[in-house]
Amino acid sequence: MTTYSAVRTTGIYCRPGCGAKPLAENVRTFELAAAAEAAGYRACLRCRPYRVAGTAGDEAPELVCRAVQLIIGGALDEATEAALGARLGVSARHLRRMFNDHLGVTPDQFARSRRAHFARRLLDDSDLSIAEVAFASGFGSLRQFNRAMREVFRSAPRELRDRRRRADRLAADGGLVLRLPFTAPYDWDATVAFLAKRAVPGVESVEAGVYRRTIALDGSPGVLELGPGGADHLQLRAHLPYWEGVIHVVERAARLAGIDADPVLASAQLASDATLGPLLAARSGVRVPGVWGPFEVAVHAVVSARLPAAEARSALGRLVAANGPAVAGLGQGLTHAFPAASSLALVPADELGLPDGLGETVRALARAVASGSVRLDGGEPLADLVGSLVAVPGVDEAAAQHLALRLGARDAFPATDPAVQHALRRNGIRPEDVDSASESWRPWRALATVHLLLSGQ
């Protein structure tokens, strides 16, 4: 995890490796840039700490992690801390106290810092106008944007744009190109292999280490391309119908790649396990891949739980081709966006092109998600999420746990999934020993599962 050093005498905070050499007695440390800013410090102009990942550590309680995930998804763009607390089942006062105790900031301060840092990166990396940067970063007005940038960086956006370095600008033939910073070690090859094995035909593709997928924003199509960029960042190329709110597109892409969290505590604990230790030593940069579309992954999990891999892939391809919005002229095998839950909820089960009663299950799942009885925004505790999913006729525990894993539930463990069982046997764990062996992996069984699944690739 990145630790930021703030100097009392200058009022400036830096990231590790900065050339500044203040006296030790004048230095305070913060785990988040937002916490340093909340304490009154401004970002160093030399080391530019807004360009590093700055993820929340995995030592924070699950409630805080779920709140962070909702904030990253835009929960505080227009709503209040009280509304966020209500979504999580706690008071705003308790939520603020939890954030202050574990992150050093309030939820509002955390959200504001993320927007400001993203805007600063856009000012550096892109040629978007100042107004486009403001709305792309989730600010409601130019006045709000200017005020936030002056508070965080002590300069107006125009002055910050004028300071960017020649090497910052990312030139592109098309689309908006951005850096997605991560904290090393990070294994993109492992992540892209995981995603490739689960790619939905027509919606996702992987070629030469680059992941591509179609998306839909308010009914308009777009395409994302995600691949290696450098020692501390991935490169995202986004072809979008508009730039407003692009911060959430970028945050969802980072979550998909698993770089929205830094599993320091999890990796340290699992490294001491007799089974997982060698796997972590071989691939120390493995993360838990997230999702772009939670409903898409839910359908994939349900279909894959009932059909062999090749049949599941074919069935998903037919489902998408028959019901997904067509997106023409893309290449790389991309032809459709994945259908929304509200759309599939209206399609008769026998017209979904799925065998063995799967049509009824997928339609029931679509109706549950569309109605709100199943919520897939990452704000639910693991037990509640799994419970709501298995209440849908035809959805089993393995599919529910796999979706929970991808949604960020750190102790999700699809132990009865055939692929997981095969991986366990491959690593010397018999079915009757799974419960006892996995007990020592808590509460990081999601990361343990990904290591196990990747161990055979």
Residue 175 covered by a domain: no
**Any idea what the CATH number is for the domain that residue 79 is in?**
1.10.10.60
Residues with a known catalytic role: 14, 417
Q: Poorest-confidence range of 27-31, 339-343, 443-447? A: 27-31
Q: Which of 168, 199, 220 is the last residue of a domain?
A: 168
* Residue 324 in this model has a pLDDT that exceeds 60: yes
pLDDT tens readout for residues 127-138: 899 999 999 999
Residue 310 covered by a domain: no
pTM: 0.91
Residue 212 covered by a domain: no
Number of compact structural domains in the chain? 2
pLDDT tens readout for residues 161-189: 998 887 777 755 578 999 999 999 999 99
pLDDT tens readout for residues 78-111: 899 999 999 999 999 999 999 999 999 999 999 9
- Residue-number span of the structural domain to which 158 is assigned: 32-125+128-168
Tell me how far apart the terminal alpha carbons of the chain are, to the nearest angstrom: 28
